[in-house]
Amino acid sequence: MSSLPALPLPVESEETEVALLDRVFFALSDPVRRRILERLDGQSLLVSELAAPFAISLQAVSRHIQVLVRAGLVRQERTGRISRCSLDAGPAYAAAVWLNRYAKYWQEQFDLLAATLTEIEERRPERERPATSRRSRRKRTTPRRAQR
Protein backbone atom coordinates (compact mmCIF):
# COMPACT_ATOMS: atom_id res chain seq x y z
CA MET A 1 0.00 0.00 0.00
CA SER A 2 1.45 3.33 -0.96
CA SER A 3 1.58 5.92 1.73
CA LEU A 4 0.43 9.46 1.28
CA PRO A 5 3.07 12.11 1.84
CA ALA A 6 2.72 14.03 5.05
CA LEU A 7 2.27 17.48 3.56
CA PRO A 8 1.89 20.29 6.03
CA LEU A 9 -1.66 21.48 6.39
CA PRO A 10 -2.31 25.17 5.77
CA VAL A 11 -3.07 25.78 9.45
CA GLU A 12 -1.61 28.08 12.05
CA SER A 13 -1.40 25.64 14.95
CA GLU A 14 -1.95 22.03 15.93
CA GLU A 15 -5.24 23.06 17.55
CA THR A 16 -6.42 24.48 14.23
CA GLU A 17 -5.38 21.23 12.48
CA VAL A 18 -7.44 19.25 14.98
CA ALA A 19 -10.43 21.56 14.46
CA LEU A 20 -10.13 21.16 10.67
CA LEU A 21 -10.06 17.37 10.95
CA ASP A 22 -13.03 17.46 13.34
CA ARG A 23 -15.05 19.49 10.81
CA VAL A 24 -14.04 17.24 7.90
CA PHE A 25 -14.85 13.99 9.70
CA PHE A 26 -18.13 15.44 10.98
CA ALA A 27 -19.04 16.49 7.43
CA LEU A 28 -18.16 13.04 6.08
CA SER A 29 -20.18 11.28 8.80
CA ASP A 30 -23.49 11.87 7.03
CA PRO A 31 -24.48 9.80 3.97
CA VAL A 32 -26.32 12.72 2.32
CA ARG A 33 -23.20 14.88 2.54
CA ARG A 34 -21.03 12.07 1.16
CA ARG A 35 -23.43 11.70 -1.79
CA ILE A 36 -23.29 15.46 -2.37
CA LEU A 37 -19.49 15.24 -2.56
CA GLU A 38 -19.74 12.30 -4.98
CA ARG A 39 -22.05 14.32 -7.22
CA LEU A 40 -19.61 17.25 -7.21
CA ASP A 41 -16.69 15.10 -8.28
CA GLY A 42 -15.41 16.72 -11.47
CA GLN A 43 -18.22 19.22 -11.88
CA SER A 44 -19.89 22.21 -10.29
CA LEU A 45 -23.64 22.16 -9.77
CA LEU A 46 -26.38 24.51 -8.73
CA VAL A 47 -27.87 23.86 -5.30
CA SER A 48 -31.16 22.91 -6.98
CA GLU A 49 -29.29 20.36 -9.16
CA LEU A 50 -27.61 18.92 -6.07
CA ALA A 51 -30.94 18.67 -4.25
CA ALA A 52 -32.82 16.94 -7.10
CA PRO A 53 -32.07 13.27 -6.26
CA PHE A 54 -32.71 13.63 -2.53
CA ALA A 55 -36.05 13.02 -0.88
CA ILE A 56 -35.51 15.96 1.47
CA SER A 57 -36.31 19.64 1.19
CA LEU A 58 -34.12 22.16 -0.61
CA GLN A 59 -33.60 23.85 2.76
CA ALA A 60 -32.29 20.59 4.28
CA VAL A 61 -29.87 20.13 1.36
CA SER A 62 -28.72 23.74 1.83
CA ARG A 63 -27.95 23.00 5.50
CA HIS A 64 -25.89 19.95 4.46
CA ILE A 65 -24.03 22.10 1.94
CA GLN A 66 -23.24 24.66 4.65
CA VAL A 67 -21.67 21.92 6.80
CA LEU A 68 -19.53 20.95 3.81
CA VAL A 69 -18.59 24.60 3.21
CA ARG A 70 -17.55 25.07 6.88
CA ALA A 71 -15.40 21.94 6.58
CA GLY A 72 -13.78 23.43 3.47
CA LEU A 73 -14.91 20.53 1.27
CA VAL A 74 -17.23 22.63 -0.90
CA ARG A 75 -16.84 26.10 -2.38
CA GLN A 76 -20.04 28.00 -2.95
CA GLU A 77 -20.22 30.91 -5.40
CA ARG A 78 -23.28 33.11 -5.46
CA THR A 79 -24.47 35.22 -8.35
CA GLY A 80 -27.59 36.97 -7.19
CA ARG A 81 -29.96 34.24 -6.00
CA ILE A 82 -28.13 31.49 -7.88
CA SER A 83 -25.63 29.44 -5.91
CA ARG A 84 -23.14 27.11 -7.60
CA CYS A 85 -21.15 24.52 -5.63
CA SER A 86 -17.85 22.84 -6.43
CA LEU A 87 -15.66 20.32 -4.67
CA ASP A 88 -12.48 21.32 -2.84
CA ALA A 89 -10.65 18.06 -2.09
CA GLY A 90 -7.84 19.68 -0.06
CA PRO A 91 -9.37 19.03 3.37
CA ALA A 92 -10.30 15.48 2.29
CA TYR A 93 -6.64 14.96 1.40
CA ALA A 94 -5.65 16.18 4.87
CA ALA A 95 -8.04 13.63 6.39
CA ALA A 96 -6.62 10.90 4.14
CA VAL A 97 -3.09 11.74 5.27
CA TRP A 98 -4.23 11.51 8.90
CA LEU A 99 -5.96 8.16 8.27
CA ASN A 100 -2.95 6.82 6.41
CA ARG A 101 -0.99 6.91 9.67
CA TYR A 102 -3.04 3.88 10.71
CA ALA A 103 -2.81 1.95 7.44
CA LYS A 104 0.01 -0.14 8.89
CA TYR A 105 -2.49 -1.81 11.22
CA TRP A 106 -4.82 -3.08 8.51
CA GLN A 107 -1.90 -3.80 6.15
CA GLU A 108 -0.46 -6.13 8.81
CA GLN A 109 -3.78 -7.98 8.80
CA PHE A 110 -3.68 -8.37 5.02
CA ASP A 111 -0.10 -9.65 5.20
CA LEU A 112 -1.08 -12.14 7.90
CA LEU A 113 -4.05 -13.33 5.81
CA ALA A 114 -1.82 -13.81 2.75
CA ALA A 115 0.71 -15.81 4.78
CA THR A 116 -2.07 -17.95 6.28
CA LEU A 117 -3.59 -18.69 2.86
CA THR A 118 -0.17 -19.63 1.49
CA GLU A 119 0.40 -21.96 4.44
CA ILE A 120 -3.01 -23.60 3.95
CA GLU A 121 -2.30 -24.10 0.24
CA GLU A 122 1.09 -25.66 0.99
CA ARG A 123 -0.47 -28.11 3.48
CA ARG A 124 -3.15 -29.30 1.04
CA PRO A 125 -2.49 -32.77 -0.35
CA GLU A 126 -1.22 -32.72 -3.93
CA ARG A 127 -4.40 -34.36 -5.26
CA GLU A 128 -6.61 -31.55 -3.85
CA ARG A 129 -4.61 -28.69 -5.35
CA PRO A 130 -5.85 -27.00 -8.51
CA ALA A 131 -4.38 -28.50 -11.67
CA THR A 132 -1.48 -26.50 -13.11
CA SER A 133 -0.39 -28.67 -15.98
CA ARG A 134 1.95 -27.46 -18.70
CA ARG A 135 -1.03 -27.12 -20.99
CA SER A 136 -2.99 -24.85 -18.62
CA ARG A 137 0.09 -22.71 -17.99
CA ARG A 138 0.65 -22.02 -21.70
CA LYS A 139 -1.03 -18.97 -23.13
CA ARG A 140 -3.85 -19.97 -25.42
CA THR A 141 -4.05 -18.13 -28.70
CA THR A 142 -7.34 -19.63 -29.85
CA PRO A 143 -10.53 -20.38 -27.93
CA ARG A 144 -10.99 -23.90 -26.57
CA ARG A 145 -13.84 -24.77 -28.96
CA ALA A 146 -11.67 -23.98 -31.97
CA GLN A 147 -8.96 -26.37 -30.70
CA ARG A 148 -11.24 -29.43 -30.77
Domain containing residue 48: CATH number: 1.10.10.10
pLDDT attached to residue 148: 45
Give the 3-state secondary structure of residue 46.
strand
In the chain, how many domains are there? Answer: 1
Q: Is pLDDT at 143 greater than 70 in this prediction?
A: no
Directed axis angle between helix 58-70 and helix 14-28, to 10°? 150
- For the cut 50, the answer to whether the pLDDT of residue 19 exceeds it is yes
At 24 the pLDDT is: 96
Predicted TM-score of the model (pTM): 0.64
Q: What is the DSSP letter of 82?
A: E
Residue 140 in any domain: the answer is no
pLDDT score, position 51: 94
